[in-house]
A = this chain, B = another copy of it.
């Protein structure tokens, strides 16, 4: 397993045999089974697998948790070694954002609501770093988690609009046995908060049950999720959404592929979760 902080070394390895397919799994490190599920999928679908580990400063607002974001490179590398990853790219800020850096990739409409409303500079930071990683690795396929549902939608739009020559593949959310979606930020939770954090997946499950029993009134489903979350004393709701899964426009009536999503503060920790449902064709 090659571990390098240098773009030239990534390229030399990537193009050693130009006919091989490469899968890229971009991460911010502190890897969990969610990340590893992406790595395994990349392995199954490509000759070679590259993983990037980089906590991208420009996708954090000044008030956010950049400096506290959990890091454990040694443990990450051990996990990736076990998955027989070919290449790990661990750049420094100086490599990614050298003096004079001044370019941004911006996706407009789908980056505006939900996470974009709460974190106005977030998706520009994500789109820019991912465009850079795509150009550095030039993968055949790139893997992202459904956990960051809007991120996947924004990046799919970027790939389509800028004609990146790769397939963007979104993999299912991996959950703890009790339902909590895996996240590097779960580490921030105290034992009480860890229990309280189950409101997110419980609210989604409740929404799915309503949906499965025929409820199509989006506002009713939204309202029920809000009530469940606000009943949890340690939770503070950021948003709850029932939206078209492509445009992220809020729905009145659930009609087609629909994304239920939410962001909730549990104590100081902001968690997100989501679920996709699909109405059967009539």
Contact = CB atoms under 8 A, between A and B. Distances in A.
A157 interface: yes
A89 to B, nearest CB: 11
A105 B102 contact: no
A268 interface: no
Given A104-B108, A107-B103, A138 B165 contact: yes
Interface string A44-79: 000000000000000000000000000000000000
Contact of A11 (B18, B106, B165): B165
A108 B102 CA distance: 5
B109 A161 contact: no
Nearest to A112: B102
A107 B101 CA distance: 9
B105 A104 contact: yes
Contacts of A106: 103-106
A259 interface: no
Nearest to A7: B163
A237 interface: no
A189 interface: no
A19 interface: yes
A209 interface: no
A103 B157 contact: yes
Interface in A159-197: 160-165
Interface stretch (A23-31, A129-137, A210-218): A129-137
A18 B110 CA distance: 35
A38 interface: no
Given A18-B18, A18-B19, A19-B18, A102 B157 contact: yes
Interface in A12-50: 18-19
A158 interface: yes
Contacts of A105: 103-106, 162
Interface in A130-157: 131-132, 135-136, 138, 157
Interface of A: 7, 11, 18-19, 98, 100-110, 127-128, 131-132, 135-136, 138, 157-158, 160-165
